[in-house]
Amino acid sequence: MEQIVVPKKHNLRRNLTILLVAALIIGSARFAGFSIVGTLSGILRGGRLLGRMFLSPAWSYAPRVVDPLVETIRMSVVGTFIGALVAFPVAVLAAENFIRKPLISRPLRFILNIFRTIPAMVLASLFVAVFGTGAFSGVLALAIFTFGLISKLTFESIEAIDYGQVEALMSLGANQINVLRYAIVPQILPQFLSYTLYGFEVNVRAAAVLGYVGAGGIGQVFEQNLSFRRFDRVGVIIILTFFVVLAIDFVSSAIRRRLV
Amino acid sequence: MIRFTDVSKVYPNGVRALTDINLTVEEGEFLAIIGLSGAGKSTLLRLINRLIDTTSGAVEVDGMMVNRATGRQLREARRKIGMIFQGFNIVKRMSVLSNVLSGRVAYHPTWRTVLGLFPEPDKQIAYRALQRVDILEKVHARASELSGGQQQRVAIARALAQEPRVMLADEPVASLDPITTVQVMDYLRQINVEDGITTVANLHHVDLALKYATRVVGIRAGRIVYDVPIKGLDRPQFFRDMEQVYGRPIHHDEVLGEA
């Protein structure tokens, strides 16, 4: 039988891509001062450190971790609440299918995008600089972070609603507020509550480190003990924080599953 | 009375939906609008309560120029015009009662309706409306639990709660099975006859138009091409005339029969 000859496939593009990616990885590693020897010795040192943290944690220190932990949760609750509260009306204005005023929704979406690109840590250090150390700065940072997160998710939910229900309400002679109350809120409320709970989960984790820049909560105690090299206490803080975050995530996602 | 005078509608994307519509619907009529998908039936209906703006011409409902009404005036005009939809469009996450009560929103100040504080007479209106479409026993059910036919009946009850003078029905039975179709159409006729509510319905099925309407208007490519009263209609002639509306005559075996 006659052989079929097809032209050879050109692999130039693929080879060039591989070369480029390899060059980027090696280049960045050099720039970052990465070395294999350094990493290995780091792992050994890290292992010793972990041993000091978790082999004999200073359990007697636990009672003194409770208050800052509770403060962390409180900060998350208040921050989430304020953030969600502001996020709702803003999301309504930012959704393009309801108000239909591009002059409002476009700039609003742009601002929301900016808000979401700022990490909570950066916000917190900013507020610590302005308002001083303490939980207030942390709450403010969490509120703004939550606001950015929830408003974005919510306005996307509003834009995905069944518009027929809005049309029906308009045909009844309803004004915008009634349309919101009877056609939009019933449709997005479960999602909104779910986003708020999700924001709370994220905030508890974020709040745990916010103290590092002086914004209150467990992070602050963590940072102090770390600087005194009290690794046995650091171990206790990490273990307790871990279980609190785990418990909150568990409960919150269980509720969220029921909501939507 | 509904009156269209030289009405045209061009959508922002350039689609010409309706051209030079002149049409008067008399008080108490049951008007069926027939035509192919995309002929402009839904647009025509939505101009009557200004869910869509007219491009030119005038739309008048009971002496009010709806195409120029805005704000409170428009909401008061809409209050008198009930509408039901192919997709029912009731709020599924609310109870049946809340849905029907929402038909009363335009009668009360916003603070009251937002709080859901409807006065007792309104509740009586809602119960009576539900009773008329035989679904009062579902008053406290969540709307999402109902079947399609039941949802459409709740939608009719909601429109009834408006105490409207005009009822618009946009493909009211297109998502329903034949049995429920007859039920829903029967309710619409009953309301039309007993309350004298002027009814305009877009219908896909010619035989439903023949059975329920008092007058049939055919639309093709945005123009009214056919307009006859049902009384004394010569049926064989009617089916031949459908060529004007659908591009070819309708044969007897294509009709669903006596629905």
State how many domains chain A has.
2
Reference B233, options B41, B40, B32; nearest CA is: B32
Tell whether A101 and A194 lie within a shared domain. Answer: yes
Confidence band for A31, pLDDT divided at 50, 70 and 90: confident
- What the block records as the tokens of B26 is 């008399």
Question: Which residue in the block uniquely carries the two structure tokens 């229900």?
Answer: A165
Got the DSSP string for B111-173? HHHHTT---HHHHHHHHHHHHHTT-GGGTTSBGGGS-HHHHHHHHHHHHHHT--SEEEEESTT
pLDDT, mean over chain A: 89
Position A3 in a domain: no
Specify the 3-state DSSP secondary structure of B220: strand
Tell whether A106 and A186 lie within a shared domain. Answer: yes
Position A5 in a domain: no
Answer whether residue B255 shows pLDDT above 80.
no
Position A2 in a domain: no
Cβ separation A183–B158 shorter than 8 A? no
Tell whether A30 and A73 lie within a shared domain. Answer: no
Per-residue pLDDT tens digits for B134-151: 999 999 999 999 999 999
Distance CA A54, CA B191 (A): 78
Confidence band for B74, pLDDT divided at 50, 70 and 90: very high
* Max avg pLDDT among A69-73, A105-109, A116-120, B21-25: B21-25
Q: Which domain holds residue A172?
A: 60-259
Question: Is the CB of B164 inside 8 Å of chain A's CB atoms?
Answer: no
Per-residue pLDDT tens digits for B105-115: 999 999 999 99
Tell whether A20 and A113 lie within a shared domain. Answer: no
Tell whether A46 and A117 lie within a shared domain. Answer: no
Torsion sign, CA atoms A132, A137, A138, A139: positive
Confidence band for A119, pLDDT divided at 50, 70 and 90: confident
Write the class of the CATH domain B1-80+166-259. alpha beta
Distance CA A195, CA A208 (A): 20
Question: Is the CB of A117 inside 8 Å of chain B's CB atoms?
Answer: no
What percent of chain B clears pLDDT 70, i.e. is strictly above it? 97
Q: Tell me, what DSSP letter sits at residue A61?
A: G
Confidence at residue B5, expressed as pLDDT on a 0 to 100 scale: 95
Tell whether A156 and A220 lie within a shared domain. Answer: yes
Q: Tell me, what DSSP letter sits at residue A7?
A: P
Domain borders along chain B are 1-80+166-259, 91-163
Q: Are A158 and A97 in contact (CB under 8 A)?
A: yes
Reference A235, options A52, A94, A29, A74; nearest CA is: A52
Measured in angstroms, the CA of B200 and the nearest CA of chain A are apart by: 15
Tell whether A20 and A41 lie within a shared domain. Answer: yes
Reference B151, options B208, B83, B92, B105; nearest CA is: B92
Answer whether residue A177 shows pLDDT above 60.
yes
Position A45 in a domain: yes
Name the residue type at position B154: V
Tell me the C-alpha to C-alpha distance, in Å, between residue B29 and each of A8, A93, B32, B201, B212.
76, 42, 10, 11, 11
Question: Is the CB of A193 inside 8 Å of chain B's CB atoms?
Answer: no
The CATH number that applies at residue A247 is 1.10.3720.10
Residues of B in contact with A177 (CB under 8 A): 110, 114
Tell whether A142 and A194 lie within a shared domain. Answer: yes
Question: Is the CB of B102 inside 8 Å of chain A's CB atoms?
Answer: yes
Report the chain B residue with the minimal C-alpha distance to residue A180: B114
Answer whether residue A3 shows pLDDT above 90.
no
Mean pLDDT, range B234-243, rounded to an integer: 85
Q: Are B257 and B207 in contact (CB under 8 A)?
A: yes
The shortest CB-CB distance from B91 to any of A173, A175, A183 is to A183
Tell whether A25 and A147 lie within a shared domain. Answer: no
Question: Is the CB of A186 inside 8 Å of chain B's CB atoms?
Answer: yes
Tell whether A27 and A105 lie within a shared domain. Answer: no
Distance CA A137, CA A139 (A): 6
